Amino acid sequence: MAERARSDTIQLKPRMKEPLRAKLEAAAEAKGVSLNAEMVHRLESSFLDEDAGDREFGGRQLHALFGLFGNAAVLIEQQTGRACFQDWDTWVAVQAAWRGLGVRFGARPSKKYLKMLSESVAGVADISRPPPKDAPPAVWKAHLAELDKKLLSMKSYYRYQEEERAQMAIGEEMAAALLPEQSKKEG
């Protein structure tokens, strides 16, 4: 098939249910345009709306994620029969759904973070039990060296957590800047 020029007009024969065709025809008559012009206008508008949404929400991925957040809230509200901004239990369920979506679609922890976490937790119970009092000095020395190693690993992990908390504080400051009136009420 030969490639078409962008200026080419292509004839399509879309299939649709009668109620939709009737709505399109009524809208076309109300505007004084042809059925074809109304269909083309509505199709073009859907792409413009999509592009505007992508720009407004920070890109296609974030736009899609926020759409999922909204859909999750609506489904939970339908299930509970209560609005999430007016009912605490519904709000908690919506937040849990959002966290689940964030975990599923968000960035994963780095290998460095996971390694620090596993190293800081691994063997804590073992090093908390000292060797017997009559153990030879070499055993005590090895135990103290292992204890130092574990403590250093834990310090690295906690330092990483401090950096993560600093990033969260930046996010909270951004949220406060975006919603200044809400921040004043809370403060």
Rounded Cα gap, residues 6 and 8, in angstroms? 6
Structure tokens, 101: 């979506």
**Tell me, what DSSP letter sits at residue 135?**
S
Do the domain assignments include residue 161? yes
Instruction: Evaluate whether residue 12 is within a structural domain.
Output: no
Q: What is the mean pLDDT of residues 64-70?
A: 87
At 38 the pLDDT is: 92
Report the pLDDT value the prediction gives residue 21, as an integer from 0 to 100. Answer: 94
Residue at 13 is within a domain: no
54 within some domain? no
Whether residue 113 is contained in a domain is answered as yes
- Does some domain include residue 128? yes
Would 19 be classed as within a structural domain? no
- List, for residues 75-111, the tens digit of each pLDDT value: 999 999 999 999 998 998 888 888 888 877 777 777 8
pLDDT higher than threshold 60 for residue 123: no
- Would the pTM of this model clear 0.75, i.e. be above it? no
> For residues 106 and 127, what is the distance between their CA atoms, to the nearest angstrom?
36
Residues 6 or more apart from 123 whose CB is under 8 A from it?
Answer: 146, 150
Q: Which of 13, 41, 35, 11 is nearest to 23 (CA)?
A: 35
What is the Cβ-side half-sphere exposure of residue 135, based on CA atoms within 13 angstroms? Answer: 13
Domain that holds residue 135: 109-187
3-7, 21-25, 158-162, 171-175: range with lowest mean pLDDT: 171-175
In total, how many domains does the chain have? 1
- Asked if the structure places residue 86 within a domain, the reply is no
